[in-house]
Chains A and B, each alone.
Chain A
Amino acid sequence: MTDRTLRLCVAALATAGLVVSGYLTWARYADVTIACSTGGCETVQGSSYATVAGIPVPVLGIVGYATLFATALFVLDLARALGAAVALGAFAFSAYLLFVQLALIDAVCDWCVVNDAIVTAVVPFAVLRLRPLVNDPARTGS
Chain B
Amino acid sequence: MESWLRGPRAVAVAGVAAMLVAGALVAASLLTGSDEGVSPRPLPAALDSSETTQLLQGIPQRGAVLGRPDAPVTLVEYGDLQCPYCATWSRMALPELVRDYVRTGRLRIEFRGLAFLGPESETGLRAALAAGEQGKLWHVVDLLYRNQGPENSGWLTDETLRQVGAAVPGLDVGRMLGRRPAMTAKVAKAQASATAAGVNGTPSFEVGPTRGRLQRVEISSLDADALRSAIESARAR
Contact = CB atoms under 8 A, between A and B. Distances in A.
Nearest to A44: B181
Given A29-B184, A92-B18, 17 more contacts: A31-B184, A32-B182, A36-B178, A42-B177, A42-B178, A42-B181, A46-B177, A48-B33, A51-B32, A85-B13, A85-B15, A85-B17, A90-B22, A96-B25, A134-B11, A142-B7, A142-B9
Contact of B36 (A39, A105, A141): A105
B194 to A, nearest CB: 19
B123 A86 contact: no
Contacts of B184: 28-29, 31
A2 interface: no
What does DSSP make chain A's interface, helix, strand, loop or mixed?
helix
Contacts, number: 148
B198 interface: no
Q: How large is the interface on A (under 10, 10 to 19, 20 to 34, 35 or more residues)?
A: 35 or more
Interface string A65-94: 000000000001110111011111111110
B233 interface: no
B28 A31 contact: no
Given A32-B182, A105-B37, A39 B174 contact: yes
B163 to A, nearest CB: 15
Interface string A90-115: 11110011001000111100000000
B158 A43 contact: yes
A8 interface: no
A49 to B, nearest CB: 4
Contacts of B183: 31
A31 B13 contact: no
9 contacts: A33-B181, A36-B178, A46-B180, A53-B32, A78-B2, A81-B10, A84-B15, A89-B25, A133-B5
Contacts of B11: 81, 84, 130, 133-134
Q: How large is the interface on B (under 10, 10 to 19, 20 to 34, 35 or more residues)?
A: 35 or more
Interface of A: 27-29, 31-34, 36, 39, 42-43, 45-49, 51-54, 60, 76-78, 80-82, 84-93, 96-97, 100, 104-107, 130, 133-134, 139-142
Given A89-B19, A93-B26, A107-B158, A78 B1 contact: yes
**Interface centre among A48, A49, A80, A87, by most B CB within 10 Å?**
A48
A52 B28 contact: yes
Interface of B: 1-11, 13-15, 17-22, 25-26, 28-29, 31-38, 119, 122-123, 126, 158, 174, 177-185
A51 B43 CA distance: 27
B178 A81 contact: no
